Chains A and B, each alone.
Chain A
Amino acid sequence: MAANIIVHGLVSSGIYALLAVGFSLIFGVARIINLSHTAFYMLAAYLIYSLASAAGLNLYLSIIIAIVIVIVVGTISYKLLIARVRHHEATTLIVTIAIAVIIQEALLKGFGGGPRSIPKLISGSIDIFGVTVLYQQFLTFGVVILLLLATWLFLMRTKSGVALRATAQDRDVANLMGINVPRMEMLTMAMSVGLAAIAGALVAPLSVLTPGMWAHPLVMILAVVVLGGLGSLQGSLIGALILGFAENLVIFLAPSGSFLKTSVALTIMLIVILIRPEGLFGIRFEEERG
């Protein structure tokens, strides 16, 4: 039981962390609440399904193609749709919801509402402490850790990363320092949807695909970023661990747990932000930064 909770908790925390970091990045740099974030994750999963299972391409190749397509779609929709209305906060929300709904409906039309599944990248499993752990779960967790490390290194060690963080801190001053702010935003959007697409590729073999699969992770990453503090990367990571484990504890321990998992996770989020309104690692007076 305990080992089961740890394995599933780590996998779902990893996925939430990957999604939440991407969501935080675009929120931090462009101040956009991208409610279509998990729709891109779903789009990637479906693209892999259609390329690998329907068109019969190699699985690795189809994953790469899917990620590229999602990045292109994401940046185009940012440039054409979101960037044009970003000064109206409420309108930005609606535009991103509309994008998510369009993706959902397009997938519903193309694939129907029935569940789909794709083969695992590496099959097989190993028994640890009496729990069957799929190799795919190992792979998922490993890739998540590698990607989070890479993102962190990019942000802290490279010139673009510094420019990106500068833009997040103060757009106007960053602009004055010669940073091309719109290009930084495009880069961030590409990174953000890219991370979402990779998360989709990692989740797709472990679960079934339905056109409604974006809603639950969206709620969870909103809770994660608020719990950890908006715009804070280590906050997103810790928040993802807390909520991912909370969900799996409830599923395995509580009666009718799969109904209550979201309730419990969201209650934890509420309690934390009622005690610390800026989240665990958030910056106080966050809205006073430009």
Chain B
Amino acid sequence: MSIPVAYITRALKLLRGEVFVLPSRTIVLLVGILLLIFPVFSQEPFILRVLILAAIFAIFAASWDLLSGFTGQINFGHALFFGVAAYTAALLNLNLGLAPWATIPIGAITAVVAGLIVGIPCLRLRGTYLAFATLAFPLILLGVVFAIPRISGGELGLQGIDPLSKSRVISYYIIIPSMIVLGFIMWKITDSNIGLIFHAIREDEVTARASGINTTRYKLLAFCLSGLFAGIAGGLYAHFVKAAGPSTLELLLSFQVIIWAVFGGIATIYGPIAGVLILYPLTEYVLTRYIAVASEAKTLIFAFIVLLVLLFMPQGLTTWLRDKTEKICPRCKLQNVAWRKKCRVCTAELD
């Protein structure tokens, strides 16, 4: 058998054994494919713009989930990472003329440093105190940004940054695959031992420490990883909208990311991504285009939708759906479709 055929059969086996067994994974695959082939159906710049921004915010929301959903260190100031990376990328691009492929990684690294700067002092804080302390960081920086308009551009922000590419379709094909790949990486991280330790820290930090886990190190790791992914999102955002303004640091963005993530369902990674991919196009495109809602009412409707969904699904949309369609095998802890009688792997009876 030739090598390509072997690879294809292996891929098909993986698809049949791991993806098609669960409706949720099939949906994820379908959405991914649909997003990738979307420009075949429509290349309308506005729709592409909405989808690109949704993808950027999806990375951002997932990175919040990686930190706050998994380790339980509720971060009220997540916009800090986004804004720091956006401003770094913009400053490097404008002053040194670096291209996007250089500014975005450097911006992300700056966000990691920001993660350390926030993380180290906040290690002593817990719960509500931590949340309010993290809230302060982006707002402090925002005040500084306003106070030095000659460097930061003040209220208007930094304008005239190089775009990712001249054509919007190419930008689409840079950002959508990045979202899919980064989302997959984050999901893999949370699915590994590190993710398990993050869960343990959220559930009971003292017990985790008693089990020999250096929780301090893992909490810092969570801050850095989260900063890294949020930073990539921030850099992509700056280069896509060709500007980095105060809105990337504002309280509203920090709250917005929590809304998206909680709406989708925290501690899942795919939940926040789903939350953004549903809510952002809904408010930016569907409501204004098809239902002809006046643009000033769109935030109002957004808030009502979030409120209603959370009243009936307090743990978020995807968590609710997952609990309805899947159950976990009592013996091997694998996910199974809810209507199966026996586990798909170890054939134990599902209750």
Contacts and interface: CB of A to CB of B under 8 A. Distances in A.
A156 B50 CA distance: 56
B145 to A, nearest CB: 8
A88 B304 contact: no
Interface stretch (B182-190, B229-237, B310-318): B310-318
Interface stretch (A9-17, A49-57, A142-150, A257-265): A257-265
Contacts of B136: 223, 266-267, 269-270
Contact of B266 (A90, A218, A256, A264): A90
A94 B263 contact: yes
Interface string B211-229: 0000000000000000000
Interface in A274-290: 274, 277-279, 286-287
Contacts of A274: 121, 124
A215 B259 contact: no
B143 A261 contact: yes
A270 B121 contact: yes
A277 B125 contact: yes
Interface string A26-55: 010000010100000000000000000000
B143 A95 contact: no
A102 interface: yes
Q: In the complex, which range does the number of interface residues on chain B fall in?
A: 35 or more
Q: Which of B255, B258, B259 has the most CB of A within 10 A?
A: B255
A222 interface: yes
A260 B143 contact: yes
A237 to B, nearest CB: 18
Contact of B124 (A109, A218, A277): A277
B124 A90 contact: no
Contacts of B131: 33
B306 interface: yes
A115 B344 CA distance: 63
Given A93-B262, A97-B258, A230-B129, A222 B315 contact: no
A278 B129 contact: yes
A109 B297 contact: yes
A98 B306 contact: yes
Nearest to A219: B139
A254 B318 CA distance: 49
Contacts of B147: 256, 259-260, 263
B300 interface: yes
Contact of B143 (A87, A98, A104, A263): A263
Contacts of B132: 222-223, 225-226, 269
Interface string B259-270: 100110010000
B299 interface: yes
A91 B314 contact: yes
Contacts of A215: 251-252
Given A94-B310, A98-B307, A274-B121, A219 B146 contact: no
A108 B303 contact: no
A229 to B, nearest CB: 9
A276 B302 CA distance: 39
Contacts of A183: none
Given A98-B259, A219-B135, A109 B300 contact: yes
B143 A94 contact: no
A101 interface: yes
Interface of B: 68, 74, 121, 124-129, 131-133, 135-136, 139-144, 146-147, 251-252, 255, 258-259, 262-263, 266, 296-297, 299-300, 302-304, 306-307, 310-311, 314-316
Which are the 5 A-B pairs with shortest beta-carbon distances? A263-B143, A259-B146, A266-B136, A105-B300, A101-B303
28 contacts: A27-B128, A33-B131, A81-B307, A85-B314, A90-B68, A91-B314, A91-B315, A91-B316, A93-B258, A93-B262, A101-B300, A102-B300, A105-B300, A109-B296, A215-B251, A219-B135, A219-B251, A261-B143, A262-B143, A263-B139, A263-B141, A263-B142, A263-B144, A263-B147, A269-B136, A277-B125, A278-B129, A287-B126
